[in-house]
């Protein structure tokens, strides 16, 4: 039997990159999927098509996670469509590089609104729905927040994103304590450099091999590898894991040869 047969998962930012990888991994194991997106609607529909090909159901929903009301309405529509939410993955995020000295406040605020506040909105709405389900006798639920190795690494030129991801980690630990009585697990996956359109847009290096030189594993990770980690944390196998952060970076963050101090490794806004 597939691990998520009969379960419903909502994933934010699921049209491409890490979110897409997560959606397809969960769908491959039987989950029905709410595919959230803000832009790239055609790609969101393509993800939904792939889910249907696997025999699953999908709901494509456009919402900017920075807008609290839009997130609340998305959950309302998802529950109306599927009757429940068993797994929620707060994946949507944005990084607009810039030094603290030079960063425009509008760009900094946008990073907070999406990567920090958007994660909070998603996690809170998911928790409220799962508690309602628990009160109706259906205990349990899995909330996974997509953090980053930036939670612990002070990457120059990325202060707002660093702050946002540090906050995401502490949010997960706090929620894990508060939701334990309802058997709702809250955990974090912290990717390193993952080969996505966003990563390629941020890194100025022309060749992937250049981006790999500080990764002990010798390559960037894939969205599918993050998806498999999320699938583990969303499964019954992870029932006794709460408030944990699973780092998935090929050894990047523990590499003593790490040199990311040059702010010119970052490119334009994505």
Q: Structure pTM?
A: 0.90
SS3 state at 146: strand
Rounded to the nearest angstrom, the gap between the alpha carbon of residue 230 and the centroid of all alpha carbons in its chain is 9
Looking at 123-268, which runs of residues are DSSP E strands?
Answer: 141-146, 184-191, 245-248
Angle subtended at Cα 228 by Cα 166 and Cα 148, rounded to the nearest 5 degrees: 15
For residues 90-103, average pLDDT: 95
270 belongs to a structural domain: no
Q: What percent of the chain has pLDDT over 70?
A: 89
3 belongs to a structural domain: no
Q: Specify the number of domains making up the chain.
A: 1
What CATH number is attached to the domain comprising 49? 3.40.50.720
Half-sphere exposure of 129 (CA within 13 A, CB side): 29
96 belongs to a structural domain: yes
Given this model, what pLDDT does residue 270 score?
37
Are the C-beta atoms of residues 36 and 63 closer than 8 Å to each other?
Answer: yes
Is the backbone of residue 33 left (phi > 0), alpha (psi -120 to 50) or beta? Answer: beta
pLDDT at 264 over 50: no
Residue 23, domain extent: 8-265
pLDDT: is 257 or 234 the higher one? 234
Given this model, what pLDDT does residue 219 score?
87
For residues 222-239, average pLDDT: 97
148 belongs to a structural domain: yes
Task: Return the active site residues.
Answer: 148, 161, 165
1 belongs to a structural domain: no
* Average pLDDT over the chain, rounded to an integer: 91
Q: Which of 127, 125, 106 is nearest to 68 (CA)?
A: 125
Rounded to an integer, what distance in angstroms lies between the CA atom of residue 12 and that of residue 234?
15
69 belongs to a structural domain: yes
47 belongs to a structural domain: yes
206 belongs to a structural domain: yes
Given this model, what pLDDT does residue 1 score?
67
DSSP H or E run through 8: strand 8-11
Asked which of 95-99, 114-118, 172-176 is least confident by mean pLDDT, the reply is 95-99
Give the tens place of pLDDT for each residue, 26-36.
999 999 999 99
Rounded to an integer, what distance in angstroms lies between the CA atom of residue 111 and that of residue 104?
11
């Amino acid at each position: 039997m597939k691990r998520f047969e009969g379960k419903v998962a909502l994933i934010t930012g699921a049209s491409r990159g890490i979110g897409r990888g997560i959606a397809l991994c969960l769908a491959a194991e039987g989950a029905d999927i709410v595919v959230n997106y803000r832009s790239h609607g055609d790609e969101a529909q393509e993800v939904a098509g792939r889910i249907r090909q696997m025999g699953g159901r999908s709901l494509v929903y456009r919402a900017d996670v920075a807008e609290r009301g839009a997130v609340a309405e998305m959950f309302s529509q998802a529950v109306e469509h599927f009757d429940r939410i068993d797994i929620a993955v707060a994946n949507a995020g944005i990084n607009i590089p810039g030094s603290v000295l030079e960063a425009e406040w509008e760009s900094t605020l946008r990073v907070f609104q999406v990567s920090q506040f958007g994660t909070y909105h998603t996690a809170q709405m998911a928790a409220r729905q799962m508690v309602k389900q628990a009160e109706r006798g259906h205990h349990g639920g899995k909330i996974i927040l997509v953090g980053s190795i930036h939670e612990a690494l002070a990457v120059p030129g990325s202060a707002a994103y660093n702050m946002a991801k540090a906050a995401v980690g502490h949010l997960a630990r706090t929620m894990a304590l508060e939701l334990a009585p309802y058997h709702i697990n809250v955990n974090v996956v912290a990717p390193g450099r993952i080969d996505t359109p966003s990563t390629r847009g941020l890194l100025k290096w022309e060749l992937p091999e250049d981006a790999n030189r500080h990764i002990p594993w010798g390559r960037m990770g894939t969205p599918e590898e993050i998806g498999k980690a999320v699938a583990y944390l969303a499964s019954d196998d992870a029932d006794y894991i709460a408030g944990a952060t699973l780092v998935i970076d090929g050894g990047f963050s523990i590499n003593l040869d790490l040199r990311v101090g040059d702010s010119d490794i970052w490119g334009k806004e994505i």
